[in-house]
């Protein structure tokens, strides 16, 4: 069966794989297996990002997102964010363990001068060392919480993102514990975003990969709001070119072009991860850029 | 009565069943001598007695655009299509929606169902587009701190408009674009805009003597204590009542971007 083809309606979200696959941590659920040794994707320079920002104006891009790896391993990350805030809103996905006060001081000042928001999304995958560290590594819970405290100290309101490595029925209980821990750490009004796990990369080893039957079909897209799919409104720049979405950069068919304009071609939903994107909707974007269906429950699947 | 040789229109954002603020805004706009009154949708939600809004709109010739709430109530859908993602926000949104659906008469539902999703008009030399969320999506949130000018210029070009007016977020703002074009979020009449004051806002749009778009945000004081009493008597959540009394949002907070959330009390 041929997988359905998705056209991009407009390039709303421009992503940058700004630290490639290089990370100071080696999380067991990482869907692109980032680690200190994984340099299959490399850093983007300020000049690389600047070139794309300039191109993005004519394309009417709405929001800019930065991910890795750990973006703050990139020595130019702070000037990259400062420059981006001159164009539009910026969001950086970090593990929160390497943030330095002088960086945050510079970024707080840059956001204050800008019309636009700077969002930090800090990945923490459990509300305690016992639940987080087996996935993200020894001592990472305490270090990430320290990072959150530091962000709060500089006036930021980080969005804590947690991959759901627990049964969905436990969401309410887990959220409650997260909120308490964050308040105890000095974060009075914590913001949380739960993400589904993606059965790719290290996570496929930790649990299982996608089965052949786990795919999106054309029938499933009837009356479905396609704007919930990342590839319908996003592209990501890596050191190899422009790919379809942040989740699939490891897939051979994800590289769509060398320029933003040439990457705006339709994409076939051929991957198991496309089903996760379909089921949960808008998994990569911030809550403030919502505006689609409200879907707290998983959609039906063909499996 | 104030008279003006330049065309001026009043633009009301989400009413959210706040019939007292709507009546006050209509009176205020009429006293300023505007040429026409428009509402950009979401007549119901949040407040009490949704049916009290319809005669005010109809009797005062307020031309209306459909919002996501109107689309839901008009078609008797299961939820408001507000686009929240947080469980607590959705919990309160559902309480509000169930109350509003139950208390909107059939004639009101039909009125909402049949509203247009956009209106186009000319104001001086400008092509003005009125919509609820954005010209491309009824429930898109266009926040000041997450919406760059080049994106708005793209929308203006794609939808062949010089001035785009929207609401949906609950917070007013405006931005001048290239070639004299303009975007305006007209604010809302339904609840205060999360700044600790109890007044609500509407917008007067006109052209100045150089034919440039001119935007005036107008504060509206109304009997908010009476609205709070009516809400309590109707059994609406204390959290909603607190917003009317204090001017601070207590729900729908997780949808705010960083800058707007930082300005918030909760």
Q: What confidence score (pLDDT) does residue B5 get?
A: 56
Cβ pair B257:A119 closer than 8 A: yes
Residue closest to A59 by CA, chosen among B157, B257, B128 = B157
* Interface residue A29 vs chain B (CB under 8 A): no
Q: What confidence score (pLDDT) does residue B126 get?
A: 94
Lowest mean per-residue pLDDT among A4-8, A11-15, B79-83, B186-190: B79-83
Pick the residue from chain B with its C-alpha nearest to A90. Answer: B146
Q: Domain span at residue A104?
A: 5-289
> Considering the domain boundaries, does residue A295 fall inside one?
no
**Dist CA B210 CA B204 (whole Å):** 17
Residue B3 pLDDT greater than 80, yes or no? no
* Interface residue A65 vs chain B (CB under 8 A): no
Q: How far is A116 from chain B (nearest CA, A)?
A: 4
Pick the residue from chain A with its C-alpha nearest to B134. Answer: A291
pLDDT band at B208 (very low <50, low <70, confident <90, very high): confident
Alpha helices (H) in B35-105, listed in sequence order = 53-59, 68-74, 87-102
Q: How far is A36 from chain B (nearest CA, A)?
A: 31
Interchain CB contacts (distance < 8 Å): A and B: 104
The Cα angle at residue A207 between residues A204 and A209, in degrees rounded to 5: 40
Q: How far is A39 from chain B (nearest CA, A)?
A: 32
Cβ pair B82:A294 closer than 8 A: yes
Per residue of chain A (303 residues), what is the pLDDT tens digit? 789 999 999 999 999 999 999 999 999 999 999 999 999 999 999 999 999 999 999 999 999 999 999 999 999 999 999 999 999 999 999 999 999 999 999 999 999 999 999 999 999 999 999 999 999 999 999 999 999 999 999 999 999 999 998 898 998 899 999 999 999 999 999 999 998 888 988 888 888 999 999 999 999 999 999 999 999 999 999 999 999 999 999 999 999 999 999 999 999 999 999 999 999 887 888 988 866 543 333 333 332
CATH code of the domain containing A77: 3.20.20.70
Nearest to A290 among B145, B155, B255 (CB): B255
**DSSP letter (8 states) at residue A262:** G
Cβ pair A290:B81 closer than 8 A: no
- Specify the CATH class of B8-262 in words: alpha beta
The percent of residues above 90 in pLDDT, for chain B, comes to: 91
Q: How buried is A223 (Cβ within 10 angstroms: 0-12 exposed, 13-18 middle, 19+ buried)?
A: exposed
**Dist CA A201 CA A35 (whole Å):** 12
> Considering the domain boundaries, does residue A300 fall inside one?
no
- Domains in chain B: boundaries: 8-262
Distances from the Cα of B3 to the Cα of A77, A276, B34, angstroms: 56, 59, 8
Q: How far is B195 from chain A (nearest CA, A)?
A: 17
Residue closest to A97 by CA, chosen among A128, A60, A143 = A143
> Considering the domain boundaries, does residue A296 fall inside one?
no
- Which residues of chain B neighbour A157 with C-beta distances below 8 Å? 258, 261-262
**Dist CA A157 CA A186 (whole Å):** 11
pTM higher than 0.80: yes
Where are the strands (E) in chain A, listed by range?
5-6, 13-17, 63-67, 90-94, 118-123, 159-163, 191-195, 234-238, 241-243, 255-257, 267-268
* Interface residue A218 vs chain B (CB under 8 A): no
**Dist CA B118 CA B110 (whole Å):** 17
Q: How far is A272 from chain B (nearest CA, A)?
A: 24
* Interface residue A70 vs chain B (CB under 8 A): no
> Considering the domain boundaries, does residue A226 fall inside one?
yes
Nearest to A89 among B84, B150, B257 (CB): B257
Q: How many independent structural domains does chain A possess?
A: 1
Cβ pair B258:A59 closer than 8 A: no
For chain B, list residues whose CB is within 8 angstroms of any CB belonging to chain A. 79, 81-87, 90, 133, 136-137, 139-141, 143-148, 150-151, 153-155, 253-262, 266
> Considering the domain boundaries, does residue A302 fall inside one?
no
Mean pLDDT for chain B overall: 95
CB contacts under 8 A, A 229-288 vs B, are 282, 286-288
* Interface residue A169 vs chain B (CB under 8 A): no
Pick the residue from chain A with its C-alpha nearest to B87. Answer: A296
Q: Give the ipTM.
A: 0.94
Cβ pair B254:A117 closer than 8 A: no
Q: What confidence score (pLDDT) does residue A23 get?
A: 98
The token duo for B149 is 């000018």
Q: How far is A179 from chain B (nearest CA, A)?
A: 13
- Which residues of chain B neighbour A56 with C-beta distances below 8 Å? 150
> Considering the domain boundaries, does residue A117 fall inside one?
yes
Distances from the Cα of B158 to the Cα of A91, A223, B39, B151, B155, angstroms: 26, 24, 23, 11, 5
Element counts in chain A: helices (H) and strands (E): 8, 11
Distances from the Cα of A286 to the Cα of A35, A290, B15, B58, B179, angstroms: 25, 7, 27, 39, 31
């Amino acid at each position: 069966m041929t997988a359905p083809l998705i056209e991009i309606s407009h390039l709303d979200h421009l992503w940058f794989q700004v630290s490639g696959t290089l990370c100071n941590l080696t999380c067991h659920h990482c869907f692109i297996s980032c680690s200190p040794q994984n340099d299959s994707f490399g850093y983007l320079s300020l000049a690389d990002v600047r070139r794309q920002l300039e191109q993005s104006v004519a394309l009417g891009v709405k929001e800019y997102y930065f991910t890795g790896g750990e973006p703050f391993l990139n020595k130019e990350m702070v000037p990259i964010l400062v420059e981006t805030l001159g164009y539009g809103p910026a969001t950086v996905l970090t593990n929160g363990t390497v943030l330095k006060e002088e960086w945050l001081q510079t970024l707080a000042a840059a956001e204050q001068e800008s019309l636009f928001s700077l969002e930090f999304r800090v990945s923490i995958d459990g509300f305690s060392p016992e639940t987080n560290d087996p996935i993200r590594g020894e001592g990472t819970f305490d270090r990430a919480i320290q990072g959150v405290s530091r962000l709060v100290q500089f006036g930021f309101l980080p969005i804590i993102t947690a991959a759901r490595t627990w049964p969905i029925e436990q969401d309410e209980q887990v959220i409650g514990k997260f909120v308490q821990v964050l308040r105890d750490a000095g974060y009075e009004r914590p913001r949380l975003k739960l993400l589904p796990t993606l059965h790719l990369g290290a996570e496929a080893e930790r649990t299982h990969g996608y089965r052949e039957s786990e795919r999106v079909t054309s029938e499933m897209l009837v009356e479905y709001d396609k704007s919930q799919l990342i590839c319908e409104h996003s592209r990501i720049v890596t050191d190899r070119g422009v790919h379809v979405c942040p989740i699939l950069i490891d897939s051979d068919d994800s590289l769509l072009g060398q320029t933003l304009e040439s990457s705006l071609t339709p994409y076939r939903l051929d991957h198991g991860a496309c089903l996760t994107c379909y089921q949960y909707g808008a998994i990569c974007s911030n809550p403030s850029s919502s505006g689609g269906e409200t879907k707290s429950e998983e959609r039906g699947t063909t499996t | 009565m104030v008279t003006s040789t330049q065309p001026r229109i009043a633009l009301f954002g989400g009413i959210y069943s706040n019939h007292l603020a709507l009546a006050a805004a209509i009176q205020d706009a009429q006293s300023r001598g505007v040429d026409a009154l428009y509402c950009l949708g979401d007549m119901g939600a949040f407040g009490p007695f949704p049916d009290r809004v319809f005669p005010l709109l109809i009797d005062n010739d307020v031309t209306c655009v459909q919002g996501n709430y109107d689309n839901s109530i008009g078609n008797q859908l299961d939820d408001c299509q507000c686009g929240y993602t947080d469980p607590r926000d959705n919990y309160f949104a559902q309480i509000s929606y169930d109350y509003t659906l139950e208390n909107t008469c059939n004639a009101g539902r039909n009125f909402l169902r049949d509203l247009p999703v956009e209106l186009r008009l000319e104001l001086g030399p400008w092509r003005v587009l009125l919509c609820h969320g954005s010209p491309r999506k009824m429930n898109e949130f266009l926040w000041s701190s997450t919406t760059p000018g080049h994106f708005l210029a793209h929308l203006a070009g794609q939808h062949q408009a010089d001035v785009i007016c929207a609401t949906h977020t609950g917070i007013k703002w405006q931005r001048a674009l290239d070639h004299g074009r303009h975007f305006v979020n007209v604010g809302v009449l339904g609840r205060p805009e999360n700044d600790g004051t109890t007044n609500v806002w509407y917008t007067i749009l006109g052209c100045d003597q150089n034919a440039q778009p001119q935007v005036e945000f107008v504060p509206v004081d109304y009997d908010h204590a009476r609205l709070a009493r009516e809400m309590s008597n109707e059994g609406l959540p204390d959290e909603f009542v607190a917003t009317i009394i204090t001017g601070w949002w207590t729900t729908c907070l997780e949808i705010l971007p960083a800058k707007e959330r930082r300005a918030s009390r909760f």
